[in-house]
Structures are given as structure tokens and as C-alpha cells.
Structure 1
């Protein structure tokens, strides 16, 4: 086995030497075939770059400004940005908060969209009818779907009636039909009235069915729409104000408190003196006003309030000084030193 391994190794060395000699000979031929101002090294280098990707594989020019000096720190802007004042930003935040709360209340009042599958019309199974002769003197045929099965017919004589009987009438009695028509109420549709507008003459503006809104005041340089003076639709009297206290954020539809809220908990506990009570209220993000969804939201709110209470007890607040509450509509949980 050792002899074979040594033999294989010597063969590899011989092959490597032959490849080196072949490469040197190829380089010499390329050098001889090159131009007078290029040597064999440049020719082989160009060949290798072309093998890698041509011009793309060669060295690229530096980007603009790569060798320029760094800018001075004194050239940075020193003037504050032109932003609204703090009261204006606070007013805008309060307005956006009211709009968000109003949208949540409307979404809860409307409820989730129904997602019911279409009810397919069931097919009626084919009913067999006795019309063809069978071994017992009757016949069985299959009627089409939606048709009533035909009644069995007795054997008829030469005159078209059963043997020894009179012709039988298959029509239902008219008296019963008349009684049923009298007893059943007649469903009458309301009278349809058609409105024929007066003919419009060429060049005449058609009359509107409703009066136009009052004209809005005009200002030079501004285009005010014609319906700008119309009053807005009255909104429901919802309580759109945020609950008081410090907001503790949670994951969506979960009682897992988000990380990085130690500062909020510490700020509330820093204002607590002695054995003052701490009030915690959790909210359940209910999506509708149905009793089942409201109960589910309250359960989620209680779970969130309990999670906050456990975090407070880990910071030294006794459980007897914590009061829990829950609400169906809202986000996260709130902590405060005043009751809810």
C-alpha cells in the first residue's frame, strides 16, 4: 500500500512539472507574438484580466472627492431648524390623538366585516318513477332533476280506461284550487311612478332637483370650493380624550410588555410617597361593541394590568397597594397615583 501511495505521489509531481513547463512555453509564445512595446508579463496579465471579466476586472478610477480634504466642523449649520413652536406641536398632537380615538370608536361601532362563504343551492336527487314495465308489472325510470315523479298508471283497455272502470281524470278539482286562491293573500307590488323631466331646449341649463348650497365667500388669489360653507355631519358624542396616567406599551393583542419601559415605571414610582396606592388600568383593544368582543377585551385588559402589577412588585411595591382595573377599548395600560 505504501508503494502505491508513493507511486501516486510521484505521478502527481511529474504531472505538475509538465504543467509548469507547458505554462512557461505558452507564456514564451505569447511574449513572442505580442507587440514590440509590450512584454510577456503584460500580455499574460491582460489575458488573465480578460478571463476574469475584461475591463470590469481592471482597476477602476477613484470616486469623485476621494482625495479631497475633510470638511471643517465649523461649516455645519448652527441655526436651529424652522419648526413650529412647542404649543403648536402639542396642539397638533392632541388633534391627531382625537382623530385616532374617533377612528377606533367608529371601527368598534361598525364591527368587523362579515366573511361568510356563499351558500350554494343544493341539487335535488333524481327520483325514480314507475313508468316502464318491470318483472312485477311496473316500470322504473329516472326523472330529470327538478321534476316531480310521475304517478303509476294502471293498465288501460282498448277504450283508454282501466279494465272495468271509467276514465279517470288526472286534473285536480277546481273547487279546492279556488279555495286556496281565496285564502292565500295576494302579494301586490307598490305602484311604480316614473318621473319625466321637462324637455331641455338647446342652450338651456337643466334645473337641479335640490337647491344649490350657499355661495362661499371669495378671497382674491384663493379658489374656495362651492360646498365649503356646508356644515359637517354631526359626530357621535364619544369620549375621545386619553385616560390619565403613564402609558405602558404592549405587543399587539398580547399581554407581553414591550422592552425599554423601565423609565416610565421609575417615573411613576419616583412620585409615590410612603404607602400611596398605585392604580393600574389595562385596555383590551376590542374590535366591536358586541358583548362577546367586549368581554374578551376586558379579559385582555386584566391580563395586561396584572403584568404591570407584577413588574411593580418586583420594584418593591407591595401587592396590597396596587389597584387593578380594565377597559375594553384602548391600547396598552396606564399607571397613575389617582384612581380611574
Structure 2
């Protein structure tokens, strides 16, 4: 009995030892698994590869400069005033940007919307019958069969640069290469090197304070009362007030110009009524409207 008990105790102790070793191995691997769970798969694979390579790339990165210093006071930075252009230079730059913006708007209105391709005309009855397998043929005006059209693409001239030696910079010619010509297609003037003449548009902003309206509407946006008050600063009874409405025209076509002018008149009338609520007589309000332009303006000078 003692031998049997001794053998059972020995087997039990061995089993407990294996379990203890397994627990110890799991506890040793657990920190590594927790560390892997903190990063994504890419970071884990990258870390493993760096450890495999060894050397400087496997070492820990040094802390960034100033990591242990106190945080700076953001309200005290920057300590030096930045270099700014003079007031006249800033005004000139603002006027230039306004002119470029107005030129782009006027040019877009002059170009008009993109053309829409007309619908494909219906084929003649004889041509439909020929396409359906009928024995009828389309005859030309002279009584004979219609001549076959040549649908082959024209030859395209391709510019071949001269060969260059290794390490040699390409030589830029005095003029660009010629534009390839396609029969039946009109090449734009800008492609052949002819500069486009700029039309003589009035690019300066109109006088007065800008009053914003809703898109394609004569209703003013919220918060425009302050702008109207700023426009009437310095006004005295009996002095004229100039109110102008603009129609946001996007094309110079007669129909579009007429519709934009009606919108401009509606905006000018609505703006004039708002101005007269500030004790301005109707006889002192001068109305104007223009199809090109945006929103409305109130000014004390014409």
C-alpha cells in the first residue's frame, strides 16, 4: 500500500509541476501579448523586424527635445511682431485681388454656359430600311448610289525631341513646337500662341457698403441691418442715398441679362424700403440696377 501511495503521490507531484510550469510560461508571455495589443498589426510587425535586424534601429528612440521642460505660455508667443507690408501696399494688393475676381466673373459671364450638343437627327426612312436588312438602297441626288465616306483618321504629326547624351541637359528652343493640325477641327487661338486680348471691363468694386442677399432672391440675409447702419453713418436729413441692386448675371445673352436685371430691380426696391425705415425720405433715395454684379450696395456718394 505504501508503494502504491508513493507512486500516486509521485505522479500527482509531477502533474502539479507541469501545471506550474505552464502557468509560469503563460505569465511570462502575457506582458508581451499586452504590449502587442497596444499597437496595430503594422507596428507589431515593424517592431519584430527591427528587433530581428538589431543594431541602432532596434534601440529605443531618444525623447524629443524639451520633452521634460514645462509647457510654454501660448499667450506670450510670438514675442516679435511679424513683418507686415505698409498700408498702401496692402491696399494695392486688395485692389488687385478684387480686380482679378471681378474679371473672372465678367469673363465667365461673357463666355456663357457650356454648349449642349443638339439631339441626333432621326435617320431617313430609306436608311432605316437598309439597316434592317431590306433590299432598298439610298440613292444620291444624281440617281446613282451614295458615295462611300472616308472615315480613316488623319495622320498626326508627333514632335520627336533630339537625342541627348547621358548627363546632358535638354536644349530648350526659342519657340514651342508647332501645334498638330487636325482636318475639320478648329484649334483655339491660345493653343497657337496668340494671346487673348483682355476686354475693357470695369473691374473696380462699386461704391458703398455691400448688402448680401439670398441666392437668386431679393430677400436680404440675416444680420444686414448693421451693414445698412454703417452705410448711413454720417448721413443727414436732405442728403441723397444711393441704392444699387445687382442681378448676379452669369451670361451676356439677352434673356439672361433681362432676368438678372429684374432681380436687380427687386433687390434695389427691397433695399430702398429698408433704408426708408431709418427716416430717409423717398425723394432722397436714388435707385439703380445692374445685371452684372452681386448682391446690393448702399452709398452716400454716386
Q: TM-score, normalised by structure 2?
A: 0.54
Structure 1 residues 53-112: Cα deviation after superposition (integer angstroms, max 9, x where no partner): 93459xxxxx97787523146852232211221101111111222222233333333322
Whether 1:297 aligns to 2:260 is: yes
Q: How many Å separate the matches in 2 of 1:262 and 1:310?
A: 12
Whether 1:245 aligns to 2:246 is: no
Gaps of 5+ in 1: 1-29, 58-62, 129-141, 150-176, 178-211, 213-230
Q: Which structure carries more relative contact order (alpha carbon 8 Å, separation 6+)?
A: 2
Larger fraction in helix? 2
Whether 1:147 aligns to 2:130 is: no
Structure 2 residue aligned with 1:263:
226
Structure 1 residue aligned with 2:23:
34
Q: What RMSD, in angstroms, separates the aligned Cα atoms of the two structures?
A: 4.4
Q: How many Å separate the matches in 2 of 1:127 and 1:323?
A: 65
Structure 2 residue aligned with 1:189:
none
Deviation of the 1:50 alpha carbon: 7.0
Q: How many Å separate the matches in 1 of 2:250 and 2:289?
A: 16
Structure 2 residue aligned with 1:282:
245
Q: How many Å separate the matches in 1 of 2:114 and 2:196?
A: 24
Structure 1 residues 7-37: Cα deviation after superposition (integer angstroms, max 9, x where no partner): xxxxxxxxxxxxxxxxxxxxxxx9996229x
Q: How many Å separate the matches in 2 of 1:335 and 1:116?
A: 43
Q: How many Å separate the matches in 1 of 2:233 and 2:97?
A: 30
Deviation of the 1:284 alpha carbon: 0.7
Q: How many Å separate the matches in 1 of 2:268 and 2:74?
A: 50
Between Structure 1 and Structure 2, whose CA radius of gyration is higher? 1
Q: TM-score, normalised by structure 1?
A: 0.48
SS in 1 for 2:232: helix
Deviation of the 1:321 alpha carbon: 4.3
Whether 1:116 aligns to 2:99 is: no
Residues 156-171 of structure 1 aligned to structure 2 (within 5 Å)? none
Q: Is the 8 A contact 2:235 2:300 kept in 1?
A: yes
Q: How many Å separate the matches in 2 of 1:109 and 1:250?
A: 23
Compared CA separation, residues 294 and 78, structure 1 to 2 (3 A): same
Q: How many Å separate the matches in 2 of 1:146 and 1:123?
A: 12
Structure 1 residues 236-293: Cα deviation after superposition (integer angstroms, max 9, x where no partner): 3332232211111234433343334333211122221124332211111212222211
Q: Is the 8 A contact 1:279 1:336 kept in 2?
A: yes
Q: Is the 8 A contact 2:102 2:203 kept in 1?
A: yes
Compared CA separation, residues 294 and 74, structure 1 to 2 (3 A): closer
Q: Is the 8 A contact 2:218 2:267 kept in 1?
A: yes
